[in-house]
Chains A and B, each alone.
Chain A
Amino acid sequence: EADIYQTPRYLVIGTGKKITLECSQTMGHDKMYWYQQDPGMELHLIHYSYGVNSTEKGDLSSESTVSRIRTEHFPLTLESARPSHTSQYLCASSPQGGYSEAFFGQGTRLTVV
């Protein structure tokens, strides 16, 4: 079973609030990813990291920011939540190497009211 955890699973928050979505993995993976998924739609990469102190933006533009201070943590932050940020956010990790399996967290379903 994959050891990658996201908290919270569900979050309903008011507009303008600052929120942080947590993602942790205990597999020692260097690569970590954040995906955004709207209902019935594809997953889109919004941030990725290849290791500590490495973060890059993904294919889909996002107002969120990420940090990678420790290998096992890859939190995502929204400084001022808006209803347009309502979505599901999925975290994933994989080991180094081109031929490696990705492991996904359970996801955080965010609703901004």
Chain B
Amino acid sequence: KNEVEQSPQNLTAQEGEFITINCSYSVGISALHWLQQHPGGGIVSLFMLSSGKKKHGRLIATINIQEKHSSLHITASHPRDSAVYICAVRPIRGGARQLTFGSGTQLTVLP
């Protein structure tokens, strides 16, 4: 079983919809990252958080350390939000591994 599980694996939404992507993990962590990967392959870091909630534009990320769960929300979704969203955790005992990645959520926003 992967230490980081994301759901859903694939998500199709209409433009303007509110979107939620979930991430559950099974190890103690010092931080959790949400990453965005576009079809060209490049990865952009959206958020790094260890508690509470962060907001950047239309993106909101929350984390519940006790429940080992994080969510990424996109408000007023747009076709340009179409990408793979990856949850990655930094295990407390990860050492050199630095980050453990989920398999990603493929988001497609239709106009």
Contact = CB atoms under 8 A, between A and B. Distances in A.
A99 B45 contact: no
Given A99-B30, A99-B31, A99-B50, A104 B44 contact: yes
A106 B41 CA distance: 6
A104 B43 contact: yes
Contacts of B30: 98-99
A40 B35 CA distance: 15
A94 B96 CA distance: 12
B11 interface: no
A59 B97 contact: yes
A104 B102 contact: no
A105 B42 contact: yes
Most buried by B among A9, A42, A106: A42
A53 to B, nearest CB: 16
A101 B48 contact: yes
A106 B98 CA distance: 19
Interface in B12-42: 30-31, 33, 35, 40-42
Contacts of A101: 33, 45, 48
Contacts of B44: 2, 104
Nearest to B9: A40
**What are the 6 tightest A-B residue pairs by CB atom distance, in nearest-first order?**
A107-B41, A106-B42, A104-B43, A42-B101, A43-B101, A42-B103
Interface of A: 2, 9, 31, 33, 37, 40-45, 48, 50, 56, 58-59, 88, 90, 92, 94, 98-99, 101-107, 109
Given A33-B98, A102-B45, 15 more contacts: A40-B103, A42-B104, A43-B101, A45-B98, A45-B99, A48-B96, A50-B96, A56-B96, A58-B97, A98-B30, A99-B50, A101-B48, A102-B33, A103-B45, A104-B43
